[in-house]
Amino acid sequence: MKPKYYITTPIYYVNDQPHIGHAYTTLACDVLARFKRLDGYDVMFLTGTDEHGQKVEKAAEAAGIDPQSFTDKVSVTFREMAEVMGISNDAFIRTTEERHKRACQALWQKLLDAGDIYLGGYEGWYAVRDEAFYDEGELIPGPNGSKLAPTGAAVEWVVEPSYFFRLSAWQDRLLAYYEANPDFILPPSRRNEVLGFVKGGLKDLSVSRASFKWGVPVPNDPDHVMYVWLDALTNYITAAGYPDETAENWRFWPADLHMVGKDILRFHTVFWPAFLMSAGIAPPKRVFAHGWWLIEGEKMSKSIGNVIAPRDLVAQFGLDPVRFFLLREVPFGNDGDFQRKALISRMNVELANDLGNLAQRSLSLIAKNCAGVLPAQGALTEEDTAILAAASALPQTLRTLLDRQNFHEALEEVWKVIRAGNGFIDRQAPWSLKKTDLARMADVLRVLADVLRTVATLLQPVMPTSMAKMLDQLGVPEDARDIAALATPLPGGIALPAPAGVFPRFVEEGA
Ligand code: MSP
């Protein structure tokens, strides 16, 4: 039986149109999902939309439509974003679906049965933009003597009856879980942040709201809807079939990875495992918090007018270069600055020059000098062996790095081999060997084809379309494009299609 892998994106609030920040989270998951499939895993990759709560209710009101029609409309734009970005999700969940309400209510019942939910009253600060409660001490000064949430969001004073989750009782058990699972939270700096927060003491958490209606009703108390984060987090188990633990997809739980942005770390690493443990359900295995993108040095915002829509970016630069750039440019976990000139430079240097030229040079020499037929494997020199060994080591290196969500280094490792390939072709100069040693020329080109095959196979998760083209040109059959297939050499003598450049240089208009 195949090993399983369950990976999730956060579910996106439908108050906003999709932008590059959303695309980034989803893309990172897509690359991991594709890599795991390539490596023989049975993968479930989930994304979706977060449709309840005050923030969405207000956005619907502002748009002048009822919340259900509003969420129907905006949710579609997130499905479209997934298409535009070439995302291979297996499932898409909306929190307004019936199955999800059932799951939330079943989970609520479990928390109640465990004695972890009680009725009280909430009096304190709430930020609708963050859908989060804040303590007085966390607030920062705002304009005209006002107070703001630490994120800069406006806060309002809320007084209402509320159900509470006994989070304070979970401090030790959470700390024990972090201790026993040192890689539960990555990167390590985020883990320390969470440890500090939990060690500082936990207060009970308000988990229902009574002042508006747009949410999942609390069982047996129609005056309350569930706090949107309890509702939202539950999506990850709804999609796995909860509360039906005999459902086919339940085999995927616990999730292997919840990918999130750094702003929503606490919800996923403190509240969520506490809810699950209280309900007797295993917590997820890993939460990875990535950083945020600035745009040319500035925060992305509607008021600045610098919000980048994934569709526009892809239309201008092409899908694969955008996918590559987003994961290559910034060490995953850090904040990054999106600079147009950096994207163009990566396209021209690493895609067009390094990889594109290596493929084009090797394949066009095979086309011209080997009658377009892949040479058989020949006798290997020391240098041949060295570069083939570097390529063969890549799958294991990538497994290790990607299991820690280290895209940046994984790509660097592939590029080391690509650069070595360019050094190899320059030194071996197969174009000169044509006149002096035809047999050696064929051997050199075969080595290059093998290196390219490995590289193109492993880069498929990042650049699926371009790498499919490259594998076509290398004569790799469609059923031999996974990692396991790399162990079987391609037969010599197969006719290759005419080579064509995969990565054109990007030339600025008017340049
Ligand atoms: N609905 C909640 C998540 C619930 S998950 C159970 C939510 N939604 S969101 O739409 O506001 O944000 C979703 C993700 O987009 C977050 O992981 C957030 O970090 C990410 N990003 C939003 N803007 C971003 C950037 N500028 N850069 C990178 N990621 C950003 O939070």
Q: What percent of the chain has pLDDT over 90?
A: 97
Contact 335, 289 (CB under 8 A): no
Q: What is the mean pLDDT of residues 391-413?
A: 98
Please give the distance, rounded to the nearest whole angstrom, from the Cα atom of residue 22 to the centre of ligand 1. Answer: 6
Q: Whose CA is nearest to atom 24 of ligand 1?
A: 21
Q: Whose CA is nearest to atom 30 of ligand 1?
A: 21
Q: What is the mean pLDDT of residues 169-173?
A: 98
Count Cβ atoms within 10 A of the Cβ of residue 211 and give its class: 0-12 exposed, 13-18 middle, 19 or more buried.
Answer: middle
Q: Whose CA is nearest to atom 19 of ligand 1?
A: 261
Residue 286 confidence (pLDDT) = 98
Pocket of ligand 1 (CB under 6 A): 10-13, 21-22, 24-25, 50, 232-233, 235, 260-261, 263-264, 292-293, 300
Q: What is the pLDDT of residues 48-76, one digit of tens each?
A: 999 999 999 999 999 999 999 999 999 99
Q: Please report the domains of the chain, with CATH numbers, ordered by start residue.
A: 341-487 (1.10.730.10)
Q: What is the pLDDT of residues 276-321, one digit of tens each?
A: 999 999 999 999 999 999 999 999 988 888 999 999 999 999 999 9
The residue among 211, 238, 237 whose CA lies nearest residue 223 is 211
For residue 215, give every residue at least 6 positions away whose Cβ sits within 8 Å of its Cβ, in sequence order, or none: 52, 53, 209, 225, 226, 227, 228, 231
Residue 16 confidence (pLDDT) = 84
Strand pairing class (293-295; 221-226): unpaired
Q: Looking at the DSSP assignment, which residues form a beta bridge with residue 117?
A: 165
Q: Could you tell which of 263, 267, 405 is best to mutate to test the pocket of ligand 1, judged by most ligand atoms within 8 Å of the CB?
A: 263
Residue 511 confidence (pLDDT) = 62
The residue among 440, 137, 402 whose CA lies nearest residue 259 is 402
Please give the distance, rounded to the nearest whole angstrom, from the Cα atom of residue 346 to the centre of ligand 1. Answer: 26
Residue 302 confidence (pLDDT) = 84
Please give the distance, rounded to the nearest whole angstrom, from the Cα atom of residue 496 to the centre of ligand 1. Answer: 45
Q: Cα(first)–Cα(last) distance of the chain, in Å?
A: 55
Mean pLDDT of the chain: 97
Torsion, Cα 32 33 37 40, to 10 degrees, reads: 60
Please give the distance, rounded to the nearest whole angstrom, from the Cα atom of residue 396 to the centre of ligand 1. Answer: 31
> DSSP alpha helices (H): ranges in 6-66?
20-38, 54-63
Q: What is the pLDDT of residues 74-87, one digit of tens each?
A: 999 999 999 999 99
pLDDT of 510 strictly over 80: no
